[in-house]
Amino acid sequence: MSDLPLDQVKAYLLDLQARICDALAEEDGAASFREDSWQREQGGGGCSRVLTDGKVIEKGGVNFSHVFGAGLPPSATAARPELAGRSFQAMGVSLVIHPYNPYVPTSHANVRFFVAEKEGEPPVWWFGGGFDLTPYYGFEEDVVHWHRTARDACAPFGDDLYDEFKAWCDDYFYLKHRDEPRGVGGLFFDDLNRFDFDTCFALMRSIGDAYIPAYRPIMARRKDTPFGDRERQFQLYRRGRYVEFNLVYDRGTIFGLQSGGRTESILMSMPPLVRWDYDWHPQSGTPEAELYRDFLIHREWL
């Protein structure tokens, strides 16, 4: 195997998982994450931590996985066919938080590391990840805070990095069949090896560490906002978009399923309740219409 410091990457990811779970459980105040360790028959395993039916979080999952095998699955070599047939290791933390209150946005974050190896050749490695926000009712101060935190996480590594990763996020989290963004974006990056290993690892850590400072203040600000059945039903309708994206486009979901990962952990990102209404459109002048008009658009927030 390679001389890359894989143990350091793994230790960081496990610590990140624990810190995120502790912070979110503290903010929820009524429930904690239960832990579920698992093994993958083809090699590796992971630890899923799930919180359900909390005071604030209806369902949240924070998953760590470290899997390896003799050959990369098709989803990992589609854009890089020269890697086909290489052995691989992949490790990462992926999370999705679905709050109960419709005024608290859903959030997603992921940081990951891949290395592909072939005897007699140097290893090919890369980092990826990011975080994005999916509100049901839009508040500009929340979205600006989210993007400001994202910008600050990227700032030590280059003046243009936030703009690049923000645009990548806007393009990636886009439902082509709906012709609409999934949410208000954030950061997304993949195949990151343009710097040396230590710098790329530091950038991944900076983005991973920024998730709680980006999300927790929004959760705290909105979690006690009164709401009724109208807001709840709209939240369930919009959650359908989340399901559609994850099953049709999400690279992590596709990679997990193609690589023989644990289905329960791969699909823990799904919301507990969701609805689809045929050909529904928001009524003009309503807060629901405002979400589409002012927030579900490609926009510069800073």
**Residue at 301 is within a domain:** no
The domain in which residue 72 lies consists of 6-295
Q: Is 95 helix (H, G, I), strand (E, B) or coil?
A: strand
The predicted pLDDT at position 250 comes to 80
**Residue at 300 is within a domain:** no
The predicted pLDDT at position 297 comes to 94
Reported residue count of the chain is 302
Q: Is 145 a catalytic residue?
A: no
| Contact in structure between 62 and 21 (CB atoms under 8 Å) | yes
**Residue at 68 is within a domain:** yes
| Contact in structure between 105 and 183 (CB atoms under 8 Å) | yes
The predicted pLDDT at position 148 comes to 98
C-alpha pair distances (Å), 221 with each of 12, 104, 141, 217, 287: 29, 8, 11, 6, 18
DSSP string, 163-231: HHHHHHHHHHSEETTTTEESSSEEEEEEEE-SS-HHHHHHHHHHHHHHHHHHHHHHHHHHTT----HHH
Annotated binding site: 94, 98, 108, 110-112, 147, 177, 260-262
CATH of the domain at 163: 3.40.1500.10
**Residue at 173 is within a domain:** yes
∠ Cα 110 112 113 (to 5°): 170
Q: How many folded domains does the chain comprise?
A: 1
Instruction: Give per-10-residue mean pLDDT for the chain (302 aa).
Output: 84 98 97 90 88 96 90 64 78 96 98 88 91 97 98 97 98 95 96 95 98 98 98 97 90 76 80 95 96 95 96
Annotated binding site for substrate: 94, 110-112, 260-262
Positive or negative, the CA dihedral 261, 196, 108, 224 is positive
Annotated binding site for a divalent metal cation: 98, 108, 147, 177
Of 66, 108, 145, 298, which is the active-site residue? 108
**Residue at 259 is within a domain:** yes
